[in-house]
């Protein structure tokens, strides 16, 4: 058979399979105001397929950082989003992940580095508001989401990449309300790798997805490998810690989106 015909048939099969996947929907809270942080931001909520048909069902929730980059290419950094809603639709449709609600929390352009880091860095004159940011998520945003949607309030997860991965890990290790974390390409380097000490001292054992791309640089890869070792030395096992090195991936929205389905399948297993 002619190769071009073969490719067309393959592409058509992909489109047909995509069209059969039931889609969730995105809802926007355009202005969410935090008294704790003294600012406002947009919140985007992914509601899974079947939500309206199963009115007695409740759903786990994951709060994802850098909400601008998750769903909409027109809002995302460099014009490429994770397309996280597509990853969720595919995993739910294939029954490789439980249906979940995803809350995309926009970052503040001027305050992102402050809100996503746990310690003030004197050299950078920035950082140190992660605890306040965590209070905003748990004390202000979570009650709003729990009141508007049918959530499993006790099954709350957090996630993010880069500095968003750093703050997600820090909060999962320090806040009892957070049961699991997606820690993607975390910025371990912040403040002389202080997160390594936090990981080595934490008495909590949240479920953790930890990853890094093979094209993120030797130092970044070494840092995340050290973090993995520190967690395992503290008692994490294969049951509650998944470490993944994506050999061809760089530090980008496209790369994180490419492994988002795997992350959702780990955080929300069907068994």
Full set of structural domains in the chain with CATH: 24-267 (3.40.50.1820)
Write down the mean pLDDT value for the chain.
94
Residue 54: what pLDDT?
93
Q: What is the helix (H) or strand (E) element at residue 182, kind and residue range?
A: strand 180-184
Candidate from 2-16, 40-54, 58-72, 149-163 with smallest mean pLDDT? 2-16
Instruction: Please tell me the distance from the alpha carbon of residue 17 to that of residue 12, in angstroms, as a whole number.
Output: 9
Report DSSP letters for 63-132, one per residue: EES-GGGTS-TTTSGGG----HHHHHHHHHHTTSS---EEEEEPPPTTTHHHHT-SS-BTTTTB---HHH
CA dihedral (44, 48, 54, 59) positive or negative: negative
Instruction: Using the predicted structure, report yes or no on whether residue 168 has a pLDDT greater than 70.
Output: yes
Confidence grade of residue 13 (pLDDT, cut at 50, 70, 90): low
| Strand partners of residue 32 | 41
179 is written with which tokens?
């049961």
Residue 77: what pLDDT?
94
Instruction: Using the predicted structure, report yes or no on whether residue 195 has a pLDDT greater than 90.
Output: yes
Residue 258: what pLDDT?
98
The answer to whether 270 and 97 have CB atoms below 8 angstroms apart is yes
Per residue in 29-67, pLDDT (tens digit) is: 999 999 999 999 999 999 999 999 999 999 999 999 999
Calculate the alpha carbon distances from 155 to 14, 104, 191, 203 in Å: 34, 17, 31, 19
Instruction: Using the predicted structure, report yes or no on whether residue 28 has a pLDDT greater than 90.
Output: yes
Instruction: Please tell me the distance from the alpha carbon of residue 167 to that of residue 246, in angstroms, as a whole number.
Output: 21
Instruction: Using the predicted structure, report yes or no on whether residue 150 has a pLDDT greater than 90.
Output: yes
Of the candidates 82, 87, 77, the one whose C-alpha atom is nearest the C-alpha of residue 112 is 77
Q: What is the helix (H) or strand (E) element at residue 155, kind and residue range?
A: strand 151-161
Calculate the alpha carbon distances from 13 to 9, 32, 95, 255 in Å: 6, 41, 20, 24
Confidence grade of residue 21 (pLDDT, cut at 50, 70, 90): confident
* More confident of the two residues 15 and 48: 48
Mean pLDDT of 222-230: 98
Per residue in 250-264, pLDDT (tens digit) is: 999 999 999 999 999
Residue 5: what pLDDT?
54
Confidence grade of residue 19 (pLDDT, cut at 50, 70, 90): low
**Rg, the chain, Cα only:** 19
* More confident of the two residues 178 and 10: 178
Find which of 12-16, 98-102, 106-110 is predicted with most confidence, using mean pLDDT: 98-102
What pTM, to 2 d.p., does this model score? 0.92
């Amino acid at each position: 058979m002619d190769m071009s015909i073969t490719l067309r048939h393959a592409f058509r099969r992909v489109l047909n399979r995509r069209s059969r996947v039931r889609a969730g929907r995105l809802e926007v809270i355009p202005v969410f105001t935090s008294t704790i942080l003294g600012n406002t931001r947009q919140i985007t909520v992914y509601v899974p397929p079947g939500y309206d048909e199963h009115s007695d069902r409740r759903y786990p929730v994951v709060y994802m950082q850098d909400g601008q980059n998750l769903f909409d290419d027109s809002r995302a950094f460099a014009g490429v989003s994770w397309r996280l809603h597509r990853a969720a639709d595919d995993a739910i449709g294939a029954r490789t992940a439980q249906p979940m609600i995803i809350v995309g929390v926009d970052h503040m352009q001027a305050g992102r580095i402050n809100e996503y880091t746990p310690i003030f860095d004197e050299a950078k004159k920035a950082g140190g508001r992660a605890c306040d940011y965590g209070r905003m998520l748990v004390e202000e945003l979570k009650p709003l989401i729990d009141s508007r949607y049918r959530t499993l309030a006790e099954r709350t997860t957090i996630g993010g990449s880069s500095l968003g991965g750093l703050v997600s890990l820090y909060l999962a290790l320090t806040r009892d309300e957070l049961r699991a974390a997606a820690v993607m390409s975390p910025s371990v380097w912040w403040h002389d790798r202080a997160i390594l000490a936090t990981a080595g001292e934490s008495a909590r054992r949240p479920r953790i997805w930890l990853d890094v791309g093979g094209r993120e640089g030797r130092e970044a890869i070494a840092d995340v490998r050290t973090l993995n070792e520190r967690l395992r030395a503290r008692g994490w096992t294969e049951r509650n810690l998944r470490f993944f090195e994506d050999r061809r991936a760089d530090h980008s929205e496209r790369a994180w989106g490419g492994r988002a389905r795997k992350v959702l399948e780990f955080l929300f297993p069907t068994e």
